[in-house]
Amino acid sequence: MSFSKNIIKLASGTTFGQALNIVSMPILSRIYTPEQFGEVAVFIAIIRIFSPVMCLRYDLSIILPKNDSDSEKLFQLCVFIAVVLSFFSFCLFFSADYFFPNVINKSLKDYWVYLPPALLISGLSLPLRTWSTRKKYFGKLSISKLTYSVGGNGTKILLGFYGLAGSLALIVGEMLGRAAELLFLFRHVGRHDKQLLSLKVKRGEFFEQIKRYKKFPLFSSWGIFFNMFSRQLPVFVLAYFFDLQTVGFFSIAFNLLMLPSSMIGSALSNVFFQKAAGLVENKSKLGRLINNIFLNIILLGGYFCIVLVFFGKILLVIFLGKEWAMTGLYVQILAPLGLMLFINATFGPLYAVFEKQEVAFAFNITRAVVFAVILIVGGMTEKIILTLGLYAISAIVLRVIDVWFILYLSRIDLNNLVFKSIKYLCLQLMFLFLIYKVCVIVREDWLQVGVLLVVSCLYYLTIWRRIRTSMP
């Protein structure tokens, strides 16, 4: 099956899942308060930081061996590591609660018990996703994403309607959604690749794979840990310097910025990783592939982020309610960062393909340190807009440098790529500025949103043909 068809197949379920998330948000925002979203944001931030390292990144190596035998051994190694680390997380969290009772946030203590099982679910899902990518089960991966959205959002809404709305209901919904995704993938892989469950691997064979792919735990695991830590750091800093309502506004704003990455970027990254691993020896073909994908990301994500700059506040007030007006302002400030996150999420796997995990590790460490300093300085001013502005500027600059280095490794024509990207962004900016001026004349918010939706649909229909023909 072609590269573009694999992306469409994998992105379809993610898109429907994210569409369900979008449809659910106006309901959830009227059932749960910003404070409750803020409280849960801290819980989810912890899961997002530790989940990617639950297999010490050996899950990424599953896709690299030429024969399935080595990949099967790596799969079982990942399952073993995930179980062991989940047990250690259980011991760590509860010992921390016992020995340092005043350090842990009081509201988080009520949900402490849910962290280890949530990490176990996330850890076991990692090798299942990578194995499915290796075997090109893109349709099933697509359905698993939809299962996660249906299970999670359905639970949150039902619990809210039955009068159980609260932070715990949001946490339970999140966990059940992740569990539904895990069970779906486990059932499919177990049915088609039974050898994964029955394979008996000798200790020496385990150590052979551990040694062969040692860069993943040594560099990639720490790299992704600090990468996720730097992404989630604003949640912890805002919770410390401001209130949970501010954290709730920020978490919803950031999730909206991640929509392009979630709907398309994750699917694109999975398929691209599998394709790039096979083209690593053919730099010319890989370069053309990267060039086409990059420009398509600009066409897709650039427009979306510029829309949020001009219309973010109006959209969020209508979409979520007047209580969430500050979320719209946060979205307008952070919107340009959304495009860089989309690009970075797509091409991040190239570090693993080129076996340059140590470079990715250095970038992630740098980001974590810079973000910590910027956010703490901003937090000390007690001015949330200034804090978010400083964070957005520093994040964009560091992501640009990161992406530039990834593209440099690929040996593509950077000057030509940068010129075309700037041209596309300028055209989008001028086009949407004109639409914004037209919408200003139309005073009714609903009419403004209607005009924007019609124009946006026409835009994406227009560029779709260009995207389809440019993909292999």
Contact of 472 with 289, CB cutoff 8 Å? yes
Distance in angstroms (rounded) separating the CA atoms of residues 39 and 171: 10
Residues 196 and 333 in one domain: no
Whole-model pTM?
0.79
Nearest to 152 by CA among 186, 120, 128, 118: 118
Q: What is the dihedral of CA 79, 80, 81, 82, to 10 degrees?
A: 50
Contact of 456 with 303, CB cutoff 8 Å? yes
What's the pLDDT tens digit per position in 9-25? 555 556 676 778 788 88
Backbone dihedral region for residue 411 (phi beyond 0: left; psi -120 to 50: alpha; all else: beta):
left
Contact of 202 with 344, CB cutoff 8 Å? no
Distance in angstroms (rounded) separating the CA atoms of residues 391 and 130: 32
- pLDDT tens by residue, the chain, 472 residues: 455 555 555 555 566 767 787 888 889 888 898 888 888 888 888 898 999 999 888 888 888 887 888 888 888 889 889 999 998 888 877 776 665 555 455 556 677 788 889 999 999 999 999 888 888 787 788 788 888 888 888 999 999 888 887 888 899 999 999 999 999 999 888 787 777 766 666 666 667 778 888 878 887 788 788 888 888 889 988 988 988 889 999 988 888 887 766 666 565 665 666 666 666 666 677 777 788 888 888 888 888 889 888 888 888 888 888 888 899 899 999 999 888 888 887 777 777 777 777 777 888 888 889 999 999 999 999 899 999 999 999 999 998 888 888 888 777 778 888 898 899 899 989 988 888 888 777 777 778 888 888 888 888 888 877 666 655 5
Any idea what the Cα angle at residue 411 is, between residues 409 and 414, rounded to 5°? 100
Distance in angstroms (rounded) separating the CA atoms of residues 40 and 328: 20
The values of phi and psi at residue 410, to 5°, are -80, -10
Q: In Å, how far from its chain's centre is CA 396?
A: 16
> Is there a domain that residue 226 lies in?
no
Distance in angstroms (rounded) separating the CA atoms of residues 266 and 341: 11
**Residue 63 confidence (pLDDT):** 84
Residues 292 and 397 in one domain: yes
Residues 315 and 378 in one domain: yes
Contact of 52 with 224, CB cutoff 8 Å? yes
Pick the last residue of a domain from 182, 213, 244: 213
Residue 311, CA atoms < 13 Å, CB-side half-sphere: 28
Any idea what the Cα angle at residue 159 is, between residues 154 and 161, rounded to 5°? 95
Contact of 303 with 338, CB cutoff 8 Å? no
Contact of 379 with 321, CB cutoff 8 Å? no
Residues 201 and 239 in one domain: no
Q: Is 286 exposed, middle or buried (0-12, 13-18, 19+ CB in 10 A)?
A: buried
Nearest to 152 by CA among 5, 288, 24: 24
DSSP, collapsed to helix, strand or coil, labels residue 201 as coil
> Is there a domain that residue 222 lies in?
no
Q: At what angle do helices 221-241 and 384-409 cross, to 10 degrees?
A: 170
Residues 325 and 199 in one domain: no
> Is there a domain that residue 219 lies in?
no
Residues 144 and 107 in one domain: yes
What domain count does the chain have? 2
Residues 248 and 177 in one domain: no
Residues 182 and 291 in one domain: no
> Is there a domain that residue 240 lies in?
yes
Residues 463 and 328 in one domain: yes
**Residue 200 confidence (pLDDT):** 66
**Residue 104 confidence (pLDDT):** 52
Range of the domain at 274: 232-472
Distances (CA, A) of 188 to 5, 184, 214, 363: 21, 6, 29, 37
- Residue 230: both structure tokens together: 């730097």
Distances (CA, A) of 33 to 170, 282, 306: 11, 53, 28
DSSP, collapsed to helix, strand or coil, labels residue 54 as coil
**Residue 194 confidence (pLDDT):** 74
Residues 247 and 171 in one domain: no
Residues 6 and 141 in one domain: yes
Nearest to 174 by CA among 47, 31, 23, 264: 47
Distance in angstroms (rounded) separating the CA atoms of residues 231 and 308: 20
**Residue 7 confidence (pLDDT):** 55
> At which residue do the structure tokens 């949407």 appear?
432
**Residue 10 confidence (pLDDT):** 54
> Is there a domain that residue 223 lies in?
no
Nearest to 222 by CA among 359, 344, 87, 64: 359
> Is there a domain that residue 363 lies in?
yes
**Residue 103 confidence (pLDDT):** 44
Residues 310 and 360 in one domain: yes
- Residue 131: both structure tokens together: 């194995």
Pick the last residue of a domain from 213, 245, 275: 213
Distance in angstroms (rounded) separating the CA atoms of residues 265 and 268: 5
> Is there a domain that residue 220 lies in?
no
> Is there a domain that residue 221 lies in?
no
Nearest to 394 by CA among 169, 234, 243: 234
Nearest to 36 by CA among 177, 153, 160: 160
* C-beta pairs of 83-88 under 8 Å, 24+ apart in sequence: 83/120, 83/123, 83/124, 85/53, 85/54, 85/56, 85/119, 85/123, 86/54, 86/116, 86/117, 86/119, 86/120, 86/123, 87/116
